[in-house]
Structure 1
C-alpha cells in the first residue's frame, strides 16, 4: 500500500511513553474461583444451613443419651443420617456443576501474538498485537482483525464485521463526513477491537487499547459476579425461615406446656426431679426441631436439578449452572438478540425479479447466460463447500447470498468465473454504491460490462430496461421499479440492481476517476431482494412464549426498520404497536432510569443497541421484579448474559458469550429456549410435588411427637425409623418425582411471581388436611393397640378403634414390638400411597396417567415397598421391628391404599366439573 508522507507513526520513545500512560493492549484475565470456594458456596443453601443447626442439636442430644446410658450407640444414627444428607446434597450439586464446567474451555483466550502492520519511525513494520499502543498507525486489510479501538485516517471500500459487538455482520466505514450514518451504533469513522475487515482496506490511529477498548469493557462486564438470587433460592430462603420459626415455636410451646403441667401436678418441689423432667422436655423439643427439618429437601432439589441438567442436554440445552434449569421456568422476560437467534445469520435471496425470466428459473438462453455470468464474475465472494451439509459464504455476505442462489439453481459460479477473464474492475465502495466488472465473455463471444449495486445508482447509468415486451426507456419503467423497491425496503430487505452492456466498440471509455463514465449506456436486467431470513421455528416458539405470559424484547445493533420488520415476521410486533414500543440505543442511553422504568415493560424493540444498553435493560427489568433470561451469541452480549438470572448463549457464539452464560443452546434454535422454559416449569412443579409429599410427612411426624409429649408417652417411631422415613425414603421419593417427564401443559400457565411462597394455598390445604387425617388415623391406631391385644390385623375391629380413640386411662402394658412394627409399616405405606397423589398434584388426570412413560417412578415405588419389607424383616433391634405376617402385609397395602383412591375420586370429580 502506498503511504502518504505525513504518516510517520510513533517513535520508539513515544511508544514507551504511550505504554506507560495508557497501558498494554492485553485484556486482564478473569480471576478463577478455587474448587474449595465453589464447594463452600454449596453450604449457602438456606435448607442446608437449617440442617447444620439440626445436626448440632441432634449430635448434642445423642451424646447426652449415650453418656447417660439412656440409649446405645444406635442413637448416633440420627446425626449421622443428617450429616449424610448434607454431604450428599452438597457433593452431588458440586460435582455436577464441576462436570459441566469441564465441557467449557477457557473461553476468552485471545492470540495476543498475532502480527499486525503498523507505521513507526516512518516505516511499515509488523509487531505482535499485544505491543500496539495508543497513537500507533495501524494498516487494516481484508480478513484481518482490528487490534484496538481507533479512528480511521483512510478508508477504501472498507466493510467491517461488527457482529462480536453489535451483532451486525457488515457495516460500511468511511472518512467522508457526508457519508456518515447518523444512527450507526459506532461512528462511521471509528473501528473497534475484536471486529474484522470483510472488504476493502484502511488506516487507523489507535485511541484505546486493552481493557479501555469497547471490547475490553464488554469483557470486564462479563466477569462481574452476578449477585442476583435465583427465584428458587429466594423461595427456599423463605421456606427455610418458615420452617425454622415454626419448629422453634412448637419446641417452645412444648417446653411451656410441659413445665406448666409439671408445676400444676407437683405438691412439693424436688429440684433433682424437676431438672430431670426439664432435660427430658428439652430433648423432646430438640427432637421436634430435628424432625421438622426436611432432611431430604436439599437432596430432592439437587437430584431434580441434576436429572434435568442431564436430560436437557438431549434437547440441545447444555446447562452449566444447575439452578438455571429451574430459573428458566420462572422467566417472565426474554431479551433476545436478532442475528443468529431469530434469524439464520446467513443472507439469502428472498426474491429475484428479472424480466422475461419465467418463474425466475435459469436456463441456457442469452438473458440467463448474462444473469449467471454477471453474478459469478462481478463478485469478490466465494462459497465454502467443505461441509457437505452446509455451504457458507466467504467475504461479502450480500454477494455470498447471490452465489448461494446460483448454487440452488444448479449453477457453478466458479466455473463461470474462471472461464471469463476480467479485463477491468471497480470494486464495490460505500461512496459509489456499485461494483462494475468488464470481462471477455465466452457465453456472448464479446466483451461485457456487468454492474450491480444500489438499484437507484445503477439505474442512473442505464438507458433502457428489459421488460416482458422488450427493451423500454428507463423513464417508462422508473416508477414501477421504485414502487417495487419500496415494497422490499419496507420489509427491511437489501435490494440490488443488475445491469449490463455489450461492448461493441473498444474505443468507449468505461471507467473514469474511479467511476463509470458518461459514455456507459447500460441495460437494466432486474433486482433481487436479499434478507437474513427468520428461522422457520421462531414464530411458533415466540407464540408459545407469549401464550405462556413471557415478555419478549428484541435487542439488536441493526436499524429500527429491519428490527421492526423481524419483530413483525415473528409475531411480536403487532399492527397496534407504536413508536412508544420501540427505541434506539441513543434514545435509550439518554433517558434516566426512572423514565425507562415507567416505559420498559412496553418496549418490544431496542435497535442500534450498544453492549452496555442490553445490560442496563436487564438490571432495570430486575428492578421491576422481573425474572430475566437473555439470549446472545456475541461478545457484546456477555455483560447482559452475566447480569441476567439466566443467560443463554448460542452453540456457535463467541467463547466470551458462552463463558458468561448459564445455558448454551447447542442448535441455536429459539425453539430449544421454549423447551428450556417448559423443562424449568415442569421441574419447579416436580419440586413442589416433593415438598408437598415431604412436608406432609414432617407435619405427621411433628404432631405425633408433640401429642406424645403432651400425653407423657414416648414416640412410637424410633430415631432409626424416622431416619428411614425422613431421609432414605424421601430421597427415593425425590428421585421418583424428579424423574417425571415435562408437561407441555405448563406453557399455558403464567410466570410465577418471584415473591410467591413456594407452598401455595392448595398445597398448604393439602399438607394440613392430609397430615391431620394421617395423625388422627395413626393416633387412633396407637390407642387401639394400647387397649387391645392384637396378633394379626385380621382381628382388627372398627368399633373398638372408635371406642378406644378417646380412652386415655392407663393400660397395664405398652405396645409390643409386633404392634410397633405394624404401626411403623402403616405409617410408611400411608406416605407411599400419598406419593402417587403428590405425582398428580396440580393436575386433574389420574395418578396412573403417564406411568408407562415414568418407569423410573415405578422402579422407585417398588424399591420403597421392598426396602420397607427388608427393614421390617431383617431390621431387628436396630430398627426395633420384627417380621410381619404375609396376610398382614396384604391388609396394610390394601387398607392404606384408600389414600390413593380418595385422591382418585377427588380428581375425577374435578375433571367432571371442568
Structure 2
C-alpha cells in the first residue's frame, strides 16, 4: 500500500480496506498472534480482504466501538453486494457497500478521491469501467467499495431484510475504490486439466465471476475459452426455457452464475446420463455439491462445504483427483477381471457335471476336487488381480455412463464365450474318453479332468489381465503377485496329483506323460481360441 495521506488525514486505501473489512464475514481467530500464525475463517475472497486489512492495522472490533453496527447483509449473488449499516452519530448513519463493480459504479454519483468528495462524471465512470475490464482480462477478481450517508431517523425502519430489498437505498452512493485480488493458479492445475481431457473427463468452469475473468483463467489452464464456449447466467435461463440443447456441448465456461443455476447445470448434465463431480469451497457452492454425483471440497474451503462434500482435498492438489479417477477405473476393471475369471471357471464345472449326469457318464469331478480348484488353484490368483497395474486402454478409456453395471455387456459376452469354448473342449474330451477307445486314460478320468481344468484355470488368469486386448498386446508378466500365485498354484496342482496323502483326500492319482500331453493340448487349444475371440471382439469394436 502506498503511504499517501488524504487531506482529512486518512489514506483512501485505508478507507477502502475499512469498508471491505466491515462488509466481510471472514474473521481472524487469533488476531493477537503473529501474522504468519493467523487462522482465518470465511470465504476465500473475504479472508484475503480481512488479512490485508489486518496487515494495514485495521481492526473491525475497534471501528465498531466508534461506529456501532446496526445491521449487516452478507454477500449474495442475487443482489451482488454486501453491506454494513453503521451509526456515525446521533444524526447520521452510513451504509458501507462492497460488491460487483458494474453495480457500484452504476449506483454511484459521487467519488471520494483522497478524502475529497466530488461529482462522479460519465468520463470517470468510463475510465473506471475500462480499468475494471482490463483487470478482469488479466485474471483479477475485482470488487468495488463505496458508502452512502443517511439520516439517523432511518434506523428504526431498516433491518437486514428490508435493506436487501429496498433498491432505493442502493443508490446515490459515493464511490471509493476498485480492489483487485489475484488468486495465483496452482502450478499443478494445467497438468491436471490436461490429464483429465486425456482420460475422457471434461473439465467445466462454473463461476460467479464475469466472463473476462473466467476466460482468462480458462486460457491459462487449457480449457477452451473462445466466445462460443462461454455463456453467462443471464443467457442461461433463456436457453433452458427454449429447450434447445445443441449449444450445451460447446460450452466449457459458465460465467456470472448464481448458486441455483449451478444446481440447474449439474441437473442438466445428469439428465444427459453423465456423472458430475463438483469442486467448490464456499457456502454458495454447497447446494450444487450436494446435487452432484460427487461433491469435492478443498481444505481451504468453508466448513459447510467440507461437511457437504464426499471428498476433501487436504493438500489442495488437483492431481489427486486425476489419480483417484485412474484408481477407480483400475478397481472397476479388476473387479470385472475377478468376476470373469470366477464365473467362467464355475460355468465350466457346472455344465460338464450336468452333461455327464444326463449322458450317464462317470462324474468327471468329485466334490473335493471342485473345492480344491475354486479355493486353492483359483483363490490366490483371484486375490492377485487386486495388484494389477493400469493398462494403456484403461487410462485412455471413455468414462462409464451413469448406472453402468459392473458386469457390463462386454464382460457378459466374454464370460459366455470363455465358458462355452472351455465347456465344448472339455465336453469333447469327455465324449472321446467315454464313447470311444481313441484315448486310453485308464482309471484316471477324474484326475485328467481335474488337471485339465486346474491348469487351464492357472493359465487363463493371464488372459484375464486385459479384457479388451489379446495377450500378445500386453505384458503378461507385469504383476509379480500373479506370477507368484501361478507358481504356487502349479506346485499345489502337482502336490494334489503326486502326494499320497492328497491323493487319498482328493481321490486323485498321478498322470503319466501321455495323459499330460492330452491336458496340455486341450489347454493350449482353449487359450488360443479365447485369445482369438478377444482379438476379434477388439477389432470389431474398433
- Does 2:23 correspond to 1:158? yes
Following TM superposition, by how much is the alpha carbon of 1:575 offset from its aligned partner in structure 2, in angstroms?
A: 1.9
Give 1:831's aligned residue: 457
- Does 2:506 correspond to 1:879? yes
Give 1:725's aligned residue: 373
Give 1:868's aligned residue: 493
Report if aligned partners of 1:172, 1:430 keep a CA contact under 8 Å in 2.
no
- Going from structure 1 to structure 2, the CA distance change for 1:822 and 1:460 (only over 3 Å counts) comes to same
Residues 532-585 of structure 1: CA distance to partner in whole angstroms, max 9, x if unpaired?
A: 12222222322332343333222334344322322232222332525xx4233x
- Does 2:424 correspond to 1:532? no
- Where do residues 237-316 of structure 1 align in structure 2 (5 Å cutoff)? none
- 1: distance between equivalents of 2:237 and 2:262? 10
- Where do residues 679-694 of structure 1 align in structure 2 (5 Å cutoff)? 679-694=327-342
- 2: distance between equivalents of 1:888 and 1:656? 69
- Output the aligned Cα RMSD: 5.1
SS of match in other structure, 1:865: helix
Give 2:223's aligned residue: 572
Residues 28-55 of structure 1: CA distance to partner in whole angstroms, max 9, x if unpaired?
A: xxxxxxxxxxxxxxxxxxxxxxxxxxxx
Give 2:61's aligned residue: none
Following TM superposition, by how much is the alpha carbon of 1:906 offset from its aligned partner in structure 2, in angstroms?
A: 7.8
Report if aligned partners of 1:839, 1:847 keep a CA contact under 8 Å in 2.
no
SS of match in other structure, 1:647: strand
- 2: distance between equivalents of 1:738 and 1:615? 37
Among candidates 730, 738, 743, match of residue 391 of structure 2: 743
- Going from structure 1 to structure 2, the CA distance change for 1:655 and 1:886 (only over 3 Å counts) comes to farther
- Going from structure 1 to structure 2, the CA distance change for 1:590 and 1:725 (only over 3 Å counts) comes to farther
Residues 414-473 of structure 1: CA distance to partner in whole angstroms, max 9, x if unpaired?
A: xxxxxxxxxxxxxxx868x9xxxxxxxxxxxxxxxxxxxxxx987999xxxxxxxxxxxx
Report if aligned partners of 1:642, 1:660 keep a CA contact under 8 Å in 2.
yes
- Going from structure 1 to structure 2, the CA distance change for 1:171 and 1:671 (only over 3 Å counts) comes to closer
Residues 104-147 of structure 1: CA distance to partner in whole angstroms, max 9, x if unpaired?
A: xxxxxxxxxxxxxxxxxxxxxxxxxxxxxxxxxxxxxxx9xxxx
- Where do residues 434-583 of structure 1 align in structure 2 (5 Å cutoff)? 487-493=134-140, 531-577=182-228, 581-583=230-232
Residues 763-809 of structure 1: CA distance to partner in whole angstroms, max 9, x if unpaired?
A: 455433332332232123323443689xxxxxxxxxx25xx9xxxxx
Higher relative contact order (CA 8 A, sep 6+): 1
Give 2:269's aligned residue: 621
Following TM superposition, by how much is the alpha carbon of 1:742 offset from its aligned partner in structure 2, in angstroms?
A: 2.0
Report if aligned partners of 1:736, 1:857 keep a CA contact under 8 Å in 2.
yes
- 1: distance between equivalents of 2:502 and 2:241? 65
Give 2:280's aligned residue: 632
- 1: distance between equivalents of 2:209 and 2:411? 48
Structure 1 unmatched ranges of 5 or more: 1-142, 144-153, 192-200, 205-428, 434-455, 462-478, 497-514, 516-526, 790-799, 805-813
Give 1:857's aligned residue: 482
Following TM superposition, by how much is the alpha carbon of 1:166 offset from its aligned partner in structure 2, in angstroms?
A: 6.5
Following TM superposition, by how much is the alpha carbon of 1:707 offset from its aligned partner in structure 2, in angstroms?
A: 1.5
- 2: distance between equivalents of 1:188 and 1:772? 66
Residues 262-316 of structure 1: CA distance to partner in whole angstroms, max 9, x if unpaired?
A: xxxxxxxxxxxxxxxxxxxxxxxxxxxxxxxxxxxxxxxxxxxxxxxxxxxxxxx
Count of paired positions: 429
Residues 81-100 of structure 1: CA distance to partner in whole angstroms, max 9, x if unpaired?
A: xxxxxxxxxxxxxxxxxxxx
Give 1:671's aligned residue: 319
- Going from structure 1 to structure 2, the CA distance change for 1:828 and 1:591 (only over 3 Å counts) comes to same
SS of match in other structure, 2:209: coil
Structure 2 unmatched ranges of 5 or more: 1-16, 28-39, 51-66, 88-95, 101-110, 117-125, 144-173
**Bigger helix share:** 2
Residues 326-362 of structure 1: CA distance to partner in whole angstroms, max 9, x if unpaired?
A: xxxxxxxxxxxxxxxxxxxxxxxxxxxxxxxxxxxxx
TM-score normalised to the size of structure 1? Answer: 0.39
- Does 2:77 correspond to 1:185? yes
Following TM superposition, by how much is the alpha carbon of 1:884 offset from its aligned partner in structure 2, in angstroms?
A: 4.8
- Going from structure 1 to structure 2, the CA distance change for 1:722 and 1:641 (only over 3 Å counts) comes to farther
- 1: distance between equivalents of 2:276 and 2:419? 37
- Going from structure 1 to structure 2, the CA distance change for 1:589 and 1:700 (only over 3 Å counts) comes to same
Following TM superposition, by how much is the alpha carbon of 1:856 offset from its aligned partner in structure 2, in angstroms?
A: 1.7
SS of match in other structure, 1:667: coil
- Going from structure 1 to structure 2, the CA distance change for 1:528 and 1:641 (only over 3 Å counts) comes to closer
- 1: distance between equivalents of 2:376 and 2:288? 41
- 1: distance between equivalents of 2:526 and 2:280? 49
- 2: distance between equivalents of 1:773 and 1:649? 49
Following TM superposition, by how much is the alpha carbon of 1:899 offset from its aligned partner in structure 2, in angstroms?
A: 4.4
- Does 2:403 correspond to 1:752? no
Report if aligned partners of 1:156, 1:202 keep a CA contact under 8 Å in 2.
no
SS of match in other structure, 2:472: coil
- 2: distance between equivalents of 1:837 and 1:567? 43
- Going from structure 1 to structure 2, the CA distance change for 1:765 and 1:909 (only over 3 Å counts) comes to closer
Moved more, 698-707 or 831-840: 698-707
